[in-house]
Amino acid sequence: MLQTVLPALILAGGPSEVLLEGGTHNPAAPPFDFLADAFLPLLNRMGPHVSAVLERPGFYPAGGGRIRVRVTPKERLAPLRLLERGAVVSRRARATVARLPLSIAEREIAVVREKLAWAEGSLEVREAADSSGPGNVLVLTVESEQIAEVFTGFGERGVSAETVAGRAVKEAREYLASEVPVGRHLADQLLLPLALAGGGAFRTLSPTLHTTTNLEVLRLFLDVAVKVERQDTQGWLISINSEDSPLRGSAR
């Protein structure tokens, strides 16, 4: 829901505040951590200022979470270019459980410790006491000089903690090995803001079906030219430009 109204709010005639209630952490949508740490910082580089506060987590299927979002709009978005991520400056892993045994989170962190060998001080186990229902999420954050990326795994009934962690670890390892700045999930989230700005470009991993579908929709509704180019075995370049809104510099 936030992503539905956000494009209008960041270009609106005045500031706004939105209070959203429901599932803040579920496998069918970007979780709060991804929005707050990966997506919104990039959107803010384009001109508007969007802040999001998690007031209460909500796990699927109980929901009951609450996010407060404040938006200061910008009349025109600045193009964004993300071609290099720079050096990695921090790596963090946080496993959270709500109304479930803490040992689930501890087992997930053990997988991160074994497979990624991240510093012990960057590994956190946490219990969410204010959740309306049970849930579990593992969040891996890779912060680089130019961008932060977030990878998540969600606990599921009948799926071991080791499997949940292994999936998130696999995504993080592939991203780190590729040296591209933008991960697969962030790629499809950036397309509409770049199109509204009239231009931009980023390097990413092989496009997902979400990404290619979003690109086709943009072509149908907006006067933009889209290029998707494979650069090497792992890196792809996606660029967007509009004749009536030419790319004029970049936001960094």
Catalytic residue numbers, as ranges: 210
207, 196, 191: which is closest to 239 by C-alpha? Answer: 191
3-class secondary structure, 103: helix
Please answer whether residues 36 and 69 qualify as being in contact, where contact means their C-beta atoms are separated by less than 8 angstroms. no
In the chain, where do the E strands start and end? Answer: 16-22, 49-56, 65-72, 80-82, 88-98, 123-127, 135-144, 148-154, 199-204, 225-230, 236-241
Q: Are 174 and 56 in contact (CB under 8 A)?
A: no
CA separation (Å) from 141 to 33, 154, 190, 194, 238?
A: 9, 15, 18, 23, 23
Side-chain half-sphere exposure of 210, counting CA atoms within 13 A: 14
